[in-house]
Amino acid sequence: MEVQPPRSSFARQAFLVLLAVGSAAAVWGLLRRDPRSTEQVAAVEHAPRGWVARPRLVVNAERSVRFPDAGEEARLLPVIKAYLDSESEEAFEYRIHMLATLKSLETNGVGILADVENLKRLIYRARPFLPNFEKKNLPKEFKDAVVHVDTATDVLSVKGWGDLRFSMSLPKSYVVARDTKRLNAAPPYPMIVLLHDKDDYADEKTQRPRPGETAIARRYPRPSMSAVTDHWLVYAPVWPKGRWTEGEAVRKDRIHLPQIFRHVHVDFDRMVVEGGPEALLFAAAYPIYFAGVIVHGDTSDVPADIVGNLDNTSVYVVRTGDAVAPVVRTLTDGGHPAERLRSGPPSGLADWLKTVRRELPTRFRWVVKDKSAHRFAYWMNIDVLDDAVLVPTVEAEIVDNVIDIRTTGVR
């Protein structure tokens, strides 16, 4: 098992943010090093079963580091933008340029990790975007794709743009910033990933032309839910009959997030997944994406053995009656933090959403039940499993720059 920065397209878009949190780059280097000193080998050989060596991160507290000033920011922006352009044929050269620029700044006492919030602001300002989802921007190979815009609701629907089929509710301010080519100057927009139901896909007789739009209209009717849709993107991917999972196995490729990230100005710290029990399964598999989950359905529940994967995820259970929903009982019995669990009517969603923000934890527990989807636990990639263990587990904690990792069934 290795602790290292993830290499997905999402991680590349937010590479500096993830490096900043928990000094992930330093952690990666330390844990990849071969600990061959006598003391370290002895510590491993006599440690309790399941524990790994405890590498220490040494911080030089005497060195003063400042964040880039306005002039240095202006120099950095085009360099970061080029680095983030993963589609470029010159990506390797841009990476070398990025490293050289950072090294040059370091000689002047400048460190990009000195102010994480300002670093995030720089990354969002520099993000390159692929063309907007508009008919005029259709690639030739997708010339038969359908792009529909409901001007009354600002809901965009796309079918046949590559593998993409979805609808998306756009705040009016987003539309203005997009059309005036000022997206990078605007703060990023939080996003709800709405998983439509089977009934949104088709009624008893016919398939609906735009299932995502049907789901958005049902969950976020205007004007009653404008407090949400005026500020949040609502992205509703479409999949036949709403089959987002195979049993309890999650299929991330059915929601196409990496493709959407390349086109849309998304706030990576404020994404929420919404739906029935399948939304809980997605949230438990990918808390690195989702800061929260909105759960519908009086019978929706989550398997008790993966409740720990949701410990750092905020949950809003939409209540339709007075009875306590099964998922509330399951989460409570499983030790889900009370401050991260709320139950209420749809009208309470707007206020709850204001509180939801992703935080990478310094302590977590993790279960690898879906051995395909449960391989990335926050800042830890899980590579090799013991096939003899039915449900591998991980407990990790960082205290005073020491990383403790206890595992069962994870090599």
pLDDT at position 346 is: 95
Cis peptide before 6 (omega within 30 of 0): no
CA 361 to chain centre: 14
pLDDT at position 95 is: 93
Round to whole Å and give the CA distance between 219 and 228: 11
Q: What is the pLDDT along the chain (411 residues), one digit of tens a residue?
A: 444 433 334 334 444 333 333 333 333 333 333 333 333 333 333 344 444 444 444 445 556 789 999 999 999 999 999 999 888 899 999 999 999 999 999 998 999 988 989 999 999 999 999 999 999 999 889 989 999 999 888 999 999 999 999 999 999 999 999 999 999 999 999 999 999 999 989 876 788 889 999 999 999 999 999 999 999 999 999 999 999 998 888 999 999 999 999 999 999 999 999 999 999 999 999 998 999 999 999 899 999 999 999 999 999 999 987 788 999 999 999 999 999 999 999 999 999 999 999 988 999 999 999 989 999 999 999 999 998 999 999 999 998 888 999 999 998
Q: Could you tell me if 79 and 103 are in contact, meaning their C-beta atoms sit under 8 angstroms apart?
A: no
3-state class (DSSP) for residue 11: helix
Q: List C-alpha distances in Å: 157 to 164, 177, 233, 285, 334.
A: 10, 19, 13, 27, 39
pLDDT at position 62 is: 56
pLDDT at position 281 is: 96
**Which contacts (CB < 8 Å, 24+ apart) does range 258-261 have?**
258/8, 258/9, 258/10, 259/162, 259/163, 259/164, 260/164, 260/166, 260/235, 261/9, 261/10, 261/13
Model pTM score: 0.83
Instruction: Quickly count: other Cβ atoms within 10 Å of residue 408's Cβ.
Output: 15
Round to whole Å and give the CA distance between 137 and 3: 40
Angle between helices 91-106 and 70-84 (to 10 degrees): 160
